[in-house]
Amino acid sequence: MVGNAGTESTKLIVLRGNSASGKTSVATGIRNRYGRGIAIVSQDNLRRTVLRERDTPDGANIGLIDTVARYALNQGYHAIVEGILYSAHYADMITGLREAHQGVSFCYYYDVPFEETLRRHATKPQAAEYGFAEMSDWYRPLDLLPGGVEQIIPAEMSLDDTVSKMMADAGLHDPAEPLNPSGFRRPSGRPTGRPAQSGRPPDTT
């Protein structure tokens, strides 16, 4: 897709890694700490729930992920794109999105051993839906994007530490910590210096 996405104030975070490595938990943790103003663009939701398609090199979900992320950025939201997002299938889309984004972009890859993904999967509500055979088939060791654009998150890094690191990298202020002098966040959860979109209801929750 051509055209710019977002503004200099928006942040784009791409979280990749194997199934049950912790991507969704971290994306949710970032938004829970930050508040409103962050869009989570989940590969699982768009590919499996919205489209119910298989993960193929020319899948329709690739363009849909790109479109949703760009729309969110253009509306003034920070965007977190998360999923397995195999490099062979999604690298071109992610590269194009990063290049189009007018703000700062951050890419992370979860380097979690297969045995640890199985342990984490067993704690999830959907653990009974699939198991060893499927996860073994899906697993790709160190499936990095080209160009060395990703920071690697090791398995031993805790959820809280990972959330804190990514928020600090992106300059997303955690309201539990003192606001720094440059002021990254407003109480509404929108980035400082970006007015709320017209017609959007006030944040009352």
Across-strand partners of 154?
A: 111
Give 186's DSSP letter: -
Domains assigned to the chain: 11-170 (3.40.50.300)
For residue 71, give every residue at least 6 positions away whose Cβ sits within 8 Å of its Cβ, in sequence order, or none.
none
CA–CA gap between residue 100 and residue 97 (Å, rounded): 5
Give start and end residues of each alpha helix (H) in 75-158.
Answer: 87-100, 114-121, 132-138
Q: Which of 44-58, 110-124, 191-205 has the highest mean pLDDT?
A: 44-58
Higher pLDDT, 3 or 13: 13
Q: What is the CA radius of gyration of the chain?
A: 17
Residue in this structure with the two tokens 């253009």, named with its chain if needed? 74
pLDDT tens figures, 14-48: 999 998 888 999 999 999 999 999 999 999 999 99
Give 44's DSSP letter: I
* Cα distance between the two ends of the chain: 35
Give 178's DSSP letter: P
